[in-house]
A and B are shown apart, each in its own frame.
Chain A
């Protein structure tokens, strides 16, 4: 066995030098894979809906499959986006107070955006 400078406890915890493990990396990949079919479905759908009026769009969104797929697209999309923006902010904003405030604002905004999307979709699904 080759010598390792890592302690036995450190190896078991698997959090690495940054102390955060692979959770961020893994979530980014999971959402990326989910977004491959969802994005293709979305682009095809938007092309089909080009120039449609509100009645047509709402009727289409109220169909269970489309309602579910749009919910998954927006959910996975926002999660993927906030993971990516987090890295961008961490890379470019060097002043710690600004970085922490920026990260907090971005994370709050992501949750708010997801809430608006969920309420809108549910409203369309229930009331049309």
Chain B
């Protein structure tokens, strides 16, 4: 990087966002978000092992509005990363690289993760009610 004036490849701010590029960075972002989710899961397991007081504190946090917001975000992140991860595995087999297919599979991933997120929360509230 000795010559700072040399031309650079298109910037994120200049390059028009496309379904391919947006989902690509979203895959990384949801992956990082799921690391936080993994920390929360291990905290929850440790609290369950520790005893009633620790577990009640963990459940209290997760049931708070900020806890529920985090859980909602993690639900979408897990389904998106899962669906888009399968899309990546198909690419690894050398399939689905046609532009039309890449666009279609991208929107399919978005639709599947949105629907599964909604279904999960409807099921969770339906099974236990909103009071708990």
Q: A-side interface residues toward B, CB under 8 Å?
A: 29, 32-33, 35-36, 39-40, 43, 46-48, 50-51, 54, 57-58, 61, 70, 74, 77-78, 81, 84-85, 88, 113, 116-117, 119-121, 123-124
Contact = CB atoms under 8 A, between A and B. Distances in A.
30 contacts: A32-B85, A39-B78, A43-B78, A43-B79, A43-B120, A46-B124, A47-B120, A47-B124, A48-B127, A50-B124, A50-B128, A51-B128, A51-B129, A51-B132, A54-B52, A54-B55, A61-B48, A74-B42, A77-B38, A78-B38, A81-B31, A81-B34, A84-B28, A88-B31, A88-B32, A113-B39, A117-B45, A120-B45, A121-B45, A123-B49
B48 A124 contact: yes
A39 B85 CA distance: 12
Interface string B95-120: 00000000000000000000000001
B38 A54 contact: no
A70 to B, nearest CB: 7
B120 A54 contact: no
Give the interface SS of chain A, mostly helix, strand, loop or mixed: helix
A113 B42 contact: yes
B86 interface: yes
A117 B41 CA distance: 9
B46 interface: yes
Q: What band does the interface of chain B fall in when counting residues whose beta carbon is under 8 Å from A? A: 35 or more
User: Which of B31, B48, B86 counts the most A-chain CB atoms under 10 A from its CB?
Assistant: B48
A40 B123 CA distance: 14
A119 B53 CA distance: 19
